[in-house]
Amino acid sequence: MSLISPACRDALQLWLEGQSALAGASENTIIAYRGDVTEFLSFMTLHHGSSQGLAALARISVADMRAWMAQTRNSGVGARSLARKLSAVKSFYRWLAEREGFEPTAVLATRAPKFTKKLPRPLAVDAARAMIDTVELQSRDSWVAARDVAVVTVMYGCGLRISETLGLTGADAPLPATLRIIGKGGKERVVPVLDAARDAVGDYLQLCPHPQDPDAPLFRGVRGGALNPRIIRGVMARARMQLGLPSTATPHAMRHSFATHLLAAGGDLRAIQELLGHASLSTTQAYTAVDTARLMEVYNRAHPKA
C-alpha cells in the first residue's frame, strides 16, 4: 500500500472492517476487496502523479475511470474480473462519499463491461454417485477415504458449500435430522440431512483417529487440525480425471447437482431456494439445469401470482 496516502489507507481499512462486521463478508471476500480497491487507488496515484488524499478522490472524473478500466483490461484482466473490481470500487465509494460528503456520480455511473455469465454445470445423477464412489479410492488410509466420502456426500446430500461443510463442528455429530447453517452474509437456514449423509459421517467418525471435541472441526486433517478445502478439491480433481469428467466437476458442482436433481425430481423451486440460502429466486434458477419447459412449469406453480 506504499502508493496510497495514509488517509486513504485508513479509510479503506475502516470500510473493510465494516464489511466484515456489519455486512458479514467472508475473509476471502475481504481479501478480494482489499486487493481490488488497493489496485484502483494505486492506479489513481500514478495516473495523477501525486498522492491521492480523500479530497482528491472526491474529484475522480469519468475520464479517470475510463483510464483505469482501459489499463486494467490491457493488463490482461477479463471482463468478468473487471466487473468484480468495479463493484468493489463502487461499494467503497458509496461508503466514502456518505462519510466525506461528496458526490460519487463519476464512479457510480461507470458501466461494468458486458460478459456472458457462466451457468453452473451440475453432474448427472450417475456421475454424482460415481464421484462419491471414486473419491473413496483416492486414499490408502481408510479413515481419510471415509472422511472424503463424508465431505462430498454432505455437500451433495445437503446442498452445502464446501466452506459450510468444513465449518461443521463436533457438536454437530452425530448429524441430526436437520442442520442449522450460517451461510453467506450471516444468513441462517435449516437443511434436512439425508440418511446417506448421516451414515457417511458416522462411518468416518468410527474410523477417525482423532478424539471428538464439540468445539473442534468435525472434519479433520491428517494431523488433527481443520481440514483444508484444497485437500477436497484435489481429491475430486483426481477422481474426475479417472471418471473422464470435465474440470467443472468441483466441490461446488455438488451443490449445483443437489439443486438440479431435486428440481428434476419434482422439488418446489421456492423450497430449494430456502435450502440453498438464496436471497433471490433467480439465483436458484441459475443453479438448475433442467429443460426450460420443466423449469417454467415448476416456476409457475411456485410463483405467488400463479
> Which tens digits make up the pLDDT trace of 115-137?
666 655 788 889 999 999 999 99
Can you point out the beta strands (E) in 17-124? none
Residue 306, pLDDT above cutoff 50:
no
* Total Cβ atoms within 10 A of residue 229: 16
Least confident piece of the model among 25-39, 187-201, 241-255, 277-291: 277-291
Average pLDDT over residues 85-112: 91
Average pLDDT over residues 300-305: 57
Average pLDDT over residues 44-55: 81
How far is the C-alpha of 80 from the C-alpha of 265, rounded, in Å?
Answer: 33
Which residue from 258, 259, 254, 264 is spatially nearest to 290, judged by alpha carbons?
264
Distance of CA 101 to the CA centre of its chain: 33
Most confident of 102-106, 112-116, 130-134: 130-134
What CATH code would you report for 6-108?
Answer: 1.10.150
Position of cell 483510464?
A: 67
| Rg, C-alpha atoms of the chain | 23
Task: Please answer whether residues 175 and 197 qualify as being in contact, where contact means their C-beta atoms are separated by less than 8 angstroms.
Answer: yes
**CATH class of this structure's domain 125-302:** mainly alpha
Residues with active-site annotation: 161, 184, 252, 255, 278, 287
Residue 228, pLDDT above cutoff 50:
yes
Residue 263 pLDDT level (bands cut at 50, 70, 90): confident
Which residue from 88, 53, 54 is spatially nearest to 68, judged by alpha carbons?
88
Strand partners, 226: 220
**pLDDT score recorded for residue 227:** 94
Domain edges within the chain: 6-108, 125-302
